[in-house]
Chains A and B, each alone.
Chain A
């Protein structure tokens, strides 16, 4: 539960960890777009090398990346099978009753699964090497220009960071209420589906009531501490753009150009 909600940040000191979250966000964003340019072996190979290089440099154990992939793997396999079965291009390789596999279909299936795979690995790598709060900071600054068209970027970022801050608190609270209701004879783990759904109400109501009370008190405390939106605010957290960030940008741009040139 914990991992799903707050991302799977694995603290570390690698080159990738130390990159500015803005650079990582931009690079992953760009990468996810340009991967759609790839359409032959060379371009896919380039994209895969780029991704694997990232994984290698991050020094994050491969099992963490696998863990990020796990929920998606079914979808990838499913996409693979669909493409194999329904693309009828090129030479016929296998034929068995209504079941035909064409060369074009196989290649298409490999390409599309590759595309999904590198997209997931690249984004997983981002969340594995960047703490949620850094991602929030990075997003706030990157999306900063949108404030001009009155999008509540600052408020959104603050919301994110408060949500991150309160996740452990709310988990603790959930555990406590669950125990308290169990002590009063509630059963969360057995019985029919209907009775289990019913058992969840005594858990949810106190949690909601508690969360609203927290929200109210927190708002009061923030106001008391001089919070008035984005007006005249300074920041303690600072993102520092270094040479390696520029380098990452250059490599990503270079990859973009290469994909443009080498695509078939």
Chain B
């Protein structure tokens, strides 16, 4: 597995003389993995995301995407084609007057010939199951549908990474589910690397790796099972705990000798079952 994103000692701030919004952050993203970045609002995670496709440029340190530096002006458009980004507000990223036009927008920008565009457009809409809505206007779509259109617009450019910048936080549970399922499919079947900036911990449980950010710094990096063992640390920086972790704590308090490993509900059920005789 190659490293598809490499961030070294990245420092960024919006105004000179301000404190750093991103403070010497180093991290990497492996090709094909699902990496979640969690942290409370204002921890710098969204700013970090915008540094990863050159929307914001490092003041110190470097960001490299597939070996290309975001500060290289010639490479920036290649980088943005490689790194697709779905933002938080479904409405404020929908440019086209119809679904079709919106999916095409990115392809038009990157000068993809029209014939090729039509083929990719169809494929992309099918992948996100929005082909029936091709001619629909955005104000007739739900939030989840708009986000799927945004994903289609990215997929059409065959990127290697998709960054979800709190892309599900404004959606209802159904919309959230649709987006996560679509992304899981793309991650598995199309080998697209997913970097999800989120405060949905139940979603983060399923990621391959996690990064916890606080005050512009990387606080922890590791497997979800490792990260969620540090319940105290997470609570201290204003994050919640996943249901299973809370459940585990409550059961331990009542004297159930649980390990700290179970993270999925199924795992916890399994463990409780094996402990049944000791309760």
CB–CB A225/B137 < 8 A: no
Within the complex, the shortest CB–CB distance from B57 to chain A, in Å, comes to: 12
CB–CB B100/A236 < 8 A: yes
Please judge, given known A-B contacts A133-B97, A169-B139, A223-B55, whether A235 and B92 are in contact too, CB under 8 Å: no
B109 at interface (Cβ–Cβ under 8 A)? yes
On chain A, the residues within 8 Å of B137 by CB distance are: 168
CB–CB B107/A236 < 8 A: yes
* Cα of A102 to Cα of B209 in the assembled complex, Å: 91
On chain A, the residues within 8 Å of B112 by CB distance are: 234
Within the complex, the shortest CB–CB distance from B94 to chain A, in Å, comes to: 7
CB–CB B111/A234 < 8 A: yes
* Cα of A8 to Cα of B53 in the assembled complex, Å: 41
CB–CB A218/B92 < 8 A: yes
Q: Please, which residue of chain B has its CB at the minimum distance from the CB of A213?
A: B92
Which listed residue (B50, B105, B139) contacts A168, Cβ 8 A? B139
On chain B, the residues within 8 Å of A224 by CB distance are: 53, 55, 80, 84-85, 87
On chain A, the residues within 8 Å of B107 by CB distance are: 234, 236
* Cα of A59 to Cα of B164 in the assembled complex, Å: 48
A69 at interface (Cβ–Cβ under 8 A)? no
CB–CB B111/A233 < 8 A: yes
Please judge, given known A-B contacts A133-B97, A236-B101, A236-B114, whether A217 and B109 are in contact too, CB under 8 Å: no
On chain A, the residues within 8 Å of B89 by CB distance are: 214, 217
Of A161, A168, A237, the most chain B CB neighbours within 10 A belong to: A237
CB–CB B113/A234 < 8 A: yes
Which listed residue (A213, A218, A228) contacts B95, Cβ 8 A? A218
CB–CB A164/B97 < 8 A: yes
* Cα of A234 to Cα of B114 in the assembled complex, Å: 7
CB–CB A236/B117 < 8 A: yes
Q: How many A-B residue pairs have CB under 8 A?
A: 88
On chain B, the residues within 8 Å of A162 by CB distance are: 95
CB–CB B109/A165 < 8 A: no
Which listed residue (A164, A172, A226, A237) contacts B109, Cβ 8 A? A226
B179 at interface (Cβ–Cβ under 8 A)? no
On chain B, the residues within 8 Å of A169 by CB distance are: 91, 138-139
Please judge, given known A-B contacts A226-B77, A226-B81, A238-B114, whether A233 and B109 are in contact too, CB under 8 Å: yes
Within the complex, the shortest CB–CB distance from B55 to chain A, in Å, comes to: 6
A82 at interface (Cβ–Cβ under 8 A)? no
On chain A, the residues within 8 Å of B114 by CB distance are: 234-236, 238
B155 at interface (Cβ–Cβ under 8 A)? no
CB–CB B50/A233 < 8 A: no
On chain B, the residues within 8 Å of A151 by CB distance are: none
Within the complex, the shortest CB–CB distance from B120 to chain A, in Å, comes to: 10
* Cα of A222 to Cα of B111 in the assembled complex, Å: 15
B181 at interface (Cβ–Cβ under 8 A)? no
The 0/1 profile, CB within 8 Å of B marked 1, for residues 163-195 of chain A is 011001100100000000000000000000000
Of A164, A172, A221, A225, the most chain B CB neighbours within 10 A belong to: A225
Chain A contact residues, CB within 8 Å of chain B: 133, 161-162, 164-165, 168-169, 172, 213-214, 217-218, 220-228, 232-238
What are 19 residue pairs bridging A and B, where the CB atoms are less than 8 Å apart in the complex? A133-B97, A165-B95, A169-B91, A169-B138, A213-B92, A217-B89, A217-B92, A222-B105, A223-B55, A224-B87, A225-B109, A225-B154, A226-B80, A226-B106, A228-B109, A232-B111, A234-B108, A235-B108, A236-B104
Contacts A214-B91, A217-B87 known; list 8 others, CB within 8 Å: A161-B96, A162-B95, A165-B95, A218-B93, A223-B55, A226-B106, A233-B109, A236-B101
